[in-house]
Amino acid sequence: MVLQENIPLAPLTTLKVGGPARYFVEAATEDDVKAAVADAAERRWPLLVLGGGSNLVIADEGWPGLVLKIAISGIAQHNDVFQVGAGHDWDGFVFHAVRRNYSGVECLSGIPGTVGGTPIQNVGAYGQEVAETILSVRVLEIATGQTLELDNQHCGFAYRSSIFNTTHQGRYIVLQVTYRLVRDGAAKVEYADLKKAFAGFTGSPSLQQLRNAVRTIRQSKAMLLVEGDDDCRSAGSFFKNPVVSAAEAERIEAHAQEIAPGEAMPRYQAGNGLVKLSAAWLMEHSGIHKGHGQGPVGISRKHTLAIVNRGGATAGDIVAFKNEIQQRVLDAWGIQLHPEPVFVGFTFA
């Protein structure tokens, strides 16, 4: 490992904002991670763990301590079980699995970032989420320096969450994730966009055909990182779809009929009597549409949920725009939208 100083962090994130790291190190092995964590503790440096930077908003002041970039790579396969390093490119792993005709992650094609970030947020898209395939997560417990293996149940997976970003946030560093996939499994075509893509298709699509369709859909929404596309300079979907009680959903739906008579408000069963609403629909019916905003920050021209850096934006600009959107939706619907990205170096986070 090489300890570096005053390293710009904005280029290491997909949103391209944020100040520098006072100290920076890249760890390619578990021993490197342990050594870096121990060094930070001994020097009393605040520690920030960085993966692919795809779900992150870093403050303009940067990070005053050590930024530890996880670069543990590699895939080890044992029958239908895949052990993948936390620093491995996520879409690279999906490609690896699909090419070998293993199903379970094909709908998650094209998602930026690294494998280590997937259990933290319980990454999901187009009808799949990683909680369905994760067997266990190998972690380093920061306080003790111990390496632990947490099985699926102990990860506390829920919609876009786990113990890693809720009850145990900041306690562990993900080192490796183990997935169980299905050999020769059928491609999952349950999401509306995918059903539309394969309308009139004879038979069932192959995993590769579904992967191609997902990547095409994501690109049409600027959710696939493409060089030169300004709408890709984002943190992906910036807001979670709100999950509310059935009574609250009825209240909002009644209000929706006043705002947009005859228009169906999207709603989905979320289990335990709860209902998931569409954050994008709520935004659009609060006057926030694709392309909304002026100056360096705005909404993607292709995806309502993506806040984009149109060039020269600061983290402060992003937060101010986020606050404006949240207030507009709160005023219109009485619903508080919650961001998906992790905010680093902000006093409110």
Please identify every residue annotated as catalytic. 160, 237, 340
Integer Rg of the chain from CA:
20
Report how far residue 106's alpha carbon sits from residue 254's, in angstroms, rounded to the nearest whole number: 37
| Amino acid in the structure at residue 199 | A
Phi and psi of 178, rounded to 5°?
A: -110, 125
Report how far residue 70's alpha carbon sits from residue 234's, in angstroms, rounded to the nearest whole number: 21
CA-wise closest residue to 52 among 92, 22, 19:
92
Exposed, middle or buried: residue 6 (CB in 10 Å: 0-12, 13-18, 19+)? exposed
Distances (CA, A) of 8 to 5, 45, 234, 306, 339: 9, 18, 18, 23, 24
Any idea which residue has 């998650």 for tokens?
108
90-99 and 207-220 helices, crossing angle to 10°: 150
β-bridge pairing 56-58 and 20-27: unpaired
Exposed, middle or buried: residue 324 (CB in 10 Å: 0-12, 13-18, 19+)? middle
246-259 and 315-333 helices, crossing angle to 10°: 90
Residue 191 CB coordination number (10 Å): 16
3-state secondary structure 16-53: CCCCEEEEEEEECCHHHHHHHHHHHHHHCCCEEEECCC
Q: Check residue 233 and report its DSSP letter.
A: S
